[in-house]
Structure 1
């Protein structure tokens, strides 16, 4: 098992954000953390990454418990829902800064970043500063930076935000290529059609609680649905919307 999350809890000012979150991620799979805005997806992710203090629970990477973000350095890469850059550096300098931190071989790193820049049609933005980019292009830069880091698991929080249909397709194929290389991906999203198209399994979270988790095939059979959207609406008790 690559990552296991057991009984994860988080309170904000005494109010429950997430409660008893349990799930696992296997090597070489794409898992979707699915739920509406405010369901607890980002709190779950930040608790896993130790970016916020959680109020109970255990997280393990390859069977070993970890207690801070430095324990998972070079193991988990994170694409946040709000991009974070060095705004005083150009996009290219942001990329090269990552190279200086995570790569010992300049030629291999340069080959990799050039390939990613081409894949995401980002060449014309390299000499711009991040604040000059559109929301979609900021997202593409964050994806490039996240992929350049060393990782066994990529966690991406709402990674499709701001992308046009062509770039959504490119990003879906990108995640599949990461899986095919033997690594794993967890995406959080409220876009159920996208989750259905690329995820091996989904964890459905509602009001801070995991209400279902399984393969999409099994969930569709259980809820007698032909789409993940219908599964979700039935779980939410919104049959009148179907």
Structure 2
């Protein structure tokens, strides 16, 4: 369980989020929706402790994470901005991540082969990051997230550079992951993909967080709620 208590983020006189109270339960996928600039990425980075300008409390399994370092948090954040070692191949980077997680070499290779095969990335594992397209880098970012095997999985616009086949693979992967005692939050403008995977929608509007069941919303009602950017 992840709980937000009176979480507030303010830049100068503008509230991005104002006294947000919400409980995220395990084994569920939450779709985070809002206009550009509404605070979706800010909320995700605040949960990940990458932004600490907030007030209020964040608790993971009833334990405060307000002062937890990003590297000590049982969480993974997959964004559309990627920091990679340019002098390591993608396979070397995956092995390095597995070593940090404490996997034995044979187990690491098995995990890598499995998830790389799922996303059909076998031909790219010996490439350096600078030689890969943005879409391929995005798929590898998702692979890295899977290898970390965290309780909390946050994704910011994960579908943006994927083709329809890759989108379907990612949807199936997320659905399979939610039954593994995980909390998954997906921020996206891709309403169609969110409809396929989400148990609950969260809309950021006027610095507030509004919750809806999937059957309560469609593209038209979302547009009315947040504005014309979804028309």
| TM-score, with structure 1 as normaliser | 0.88
Q: Please report how far the alpha carbon of residue 40 of structure 1 lies from its aligned counterpart in structure 2 after TM superposition.
A: 0.5
The 2-side partners of 1:41 and 1:22 are apart by: 15
* 1:136-188 Cα shifts (integer Å, max 9, x gaps): 11100110111101311211111111000000000000101101333221111
Greater alpha carbon shift after TM alignment, 195-204 vs 84-93: 84-93
Over 3 Å counting, the alpha-carbon distance change for 1:118 and 1:202 in structure 2 is same
Unaligned runs of 5+ in 2: none
Q: Please report how far the alpha carbon of residue 114 of structure 1 lies from its aligned counterpart in structure 2 after TM superposition.
A: 0.5
Q: Secondary structure at the match of 1:31?
A: strand
Q: Secondary structure at the match of 1:57?
A: strand
Over 3 Å counting, the alpha-carbon distance change for 1:46 and 1:68 in structure 2 is same
The 2-side partners of 1:73 and 1:151 are apart by: 11
Aligned to 1:224: none
Count of residues in correspondence between the two structures: 229
* 1:70-94 Cα shifts (integer Å, max 9, x gaps): 3773621111231221222111111
Unaligned runs of 5+ in 1: 221-227
The 1-side partners of 2:72 and 2:136 are apart by: 26
Contact preservation (8 Å) 2:49, 2:70: no
| 1:231 is aligned to 2:211 | no
Aligned to 2:25: 26
The 1-side partners of 2:86 and 2:17 are apart by: 33
The 2-side partners of 1:72 and 1:96 are apart by: 18
Aligned to 1:99: 98
| TM-score, with structure 2 as normaliser | 0.92
Structure 2 counterparts to residues 20-169 of structure 1, below 5 A: 20-70=19-69, 73=72, 75-169=74-168
Aligned to 1:7: 6
Contact preservation (8 Å) 1:18, 1:40: yes
